[in-house]
A and B are shown apart, each in its own frame.
Chain A
Amino acid sequence: MHHVVLDEWNRRPGWLQKRDARAKLVVLLAYLVALATMPRLTPQAVIGFGALASAGVASGRLPALGVALRAGAVLPFALFFAAGVWLSGATGKAADLVVRSYLSAAAVLVVMGATPMPGLLRAMEWLGAPRFLVQVAHFLYRYLFVLSEQAQHMRLAALSRGLDRGGFRRSRSLWRAAGGALAVLFARSQARAEAIHRAMLARGYAGRLAELRNERMEAGDWVLVAAGLLLCAGVRTGLAYAG
């Protein structure tokens, strides 16, 4: 079974992957706040924040091109809003919005690529995110795999019955079939989700997910927090002063 690429990045033997999720989340927040509060995004600022994100890519042994391309997923949304800003006459701000969005997405992707989702969710809870919200996110993540597996099973079944034959001429009927398959996929996924919930109840689940975890941050985690905060603050204040 194929799973999301982030899962593969999480397992890479990088320094960043070994760090506590809480440390990474604190540094990410500092980065986002520093970037968002820059009065104006000069070329030096873009280079500075880009360098910080690149440091994350390098320390996590993540594929730079992969991160760069996937961060581009935010561009359609950013461009949509930027178009509104541009039409109102603030052309500089429109470009600014797109670049900020892209850099933010890249930073989030670096942290997500270097941190397994459950750890990230625990860190969110530690930072004060509501427990209910975190649990919902946990199950969404778990069911994402369920959905993905069901979809792949159905795709294989369809391929085995000649889905890829007939080409463009059959595209209309294929779309119809895909619509039906989507409905079946959700129905099957719901049944699977219910079964998983039943299995949890059978083993004593009573509404709270306890975890095996090391509560203490190590020296390397504190180094990351200190260095991350200092660098973000340094880039933010230095560039703002220079600008």
Chain B
Amino acid sequence: MRDSASGEPLIRVRDLRFRYEDGTAALDGVSFDLYPGETVAILGPNGSGKTTFVLHLNGLLRGDGEVIVCGLRLEKRNLEEIRRRVGLLFQDPDEQLFMPTVVEDVAFALLCRGVAPAEAEKKARAVLARVGLEGAATRPPYHLSAGEKRRATLAAVLAAEPDILVLDEPTTYLDPPAQRELLTLLASLPQAKIIVTHDTEFAEAIARRAVFFQRGRIIAEGSVAELRRLYGWTARPARGDTTAPEGAQPGSPR
């Protein structure tokens, strides 16, 4: 099922449990592996723990259980290196763009890592060109369109040259042509990827393996097509099909 399974997993999670401060159990014994070169889609209904799970992968949340990233155990002393290895694209671009200009935002991670400003700017501009935003380098991020913001956030993640890309709802706010562009771009990237999405067509086009979250647990694993069939999890009902509404509730296998 893996694209290019080889050796040790890049990410190894065992029995991960996490409760929010109000006592809500967000993750309840999640185990998961990601191998080099692999792309895995994470599917599941809203509130099932998908985002909470990926926030653990670079230490933004810390639960009980074992999380090992690129051979590094998720501990305070390893956080800096883990965050360098895992590039996290957030669901809402506005939360990820915080610097005064696009190029400064893209260079942010490089500067935090101690790269010289001139070198950081050169790299940032090169990545912006790669995502088709070379003309927006000096614009304030809040002046970009939704699609441009998404590309800018992706550039910001790519500039840091991570080993693993974790993308939380990357197609949100994108129109169909922009989604296709994103798909082409992601397919060209060599990194292992975890993609949290509700868009099963997008997931199927890019990931061979998928896991399905429900109530903080992974309840199924397989290809996107299998999970979609199993849980009625379709992006849109087929023409004339009134039995498969959008976002049909999982847990009622058909």
User: Which A residues form the contact surface with B (CB < 8 A)?
Assistant: 1, 3, 7, 116-118, 142, 145-146, 149, 192, 195-196, 198-206, 208, 210-213
Contact = CB atoms under 8 A, between A and B. Distances in A.
Contacts of B113: 204
Given A1-B142, A211-B117, 10 more contacts: A116-B100, A142-B98, A149-B142, A198-B55, A199-B90, A199-B95, A204-B112, A204-B113, A206-B112, A212-B121
14 contacts: A3-B142, A146-B94, A192-B94, A195-B95, A196-B96, A202-B90, A203-B108, A203-B109, A204-B109, A206-B80, A210-B111, A212-B107, A212-B117, A212-B120
B112 A205 contact: yes
B58 A202 contact: yes
Contacts of A1: 142
Interface of B: 55, 58, 60, 80, 83-84, 88, 90, 92, 94-96, 98-100, 103-104, 107-109, 111-113, 117, 120-121, 124, 140, 142, 156-157, 160
A149 B149 CA distance: 15
B98 A196 contact: yes
Given A149-B94, A195-B90, A202-B58, A210 B112 contact: yes
A136 to B, nearest CB: 14
B104 A212 contact: yes
Contacts of A202: 58, 60, 83, 88, 90
Contacts of B88: 202
Contacts of A142: 98
Contacts of A205: 108, 112
Contacts of A116: 100
Contacts of A118: 99-100
B117 to A, nearest CB: 5
A200 B90 CA distance: 11
Nearest to B121: A212
A115 to B, nearest CB: 12
A216 to B, nearest CB: 12
Contacts of B90: 195, 198-199, 202
Contacts of A198: 55, 60, 90, 95
A212 B58 CA distance: 26
Given A205-B112, A210-B112, A192 B95 contact: yes
Contacts of B140: 7
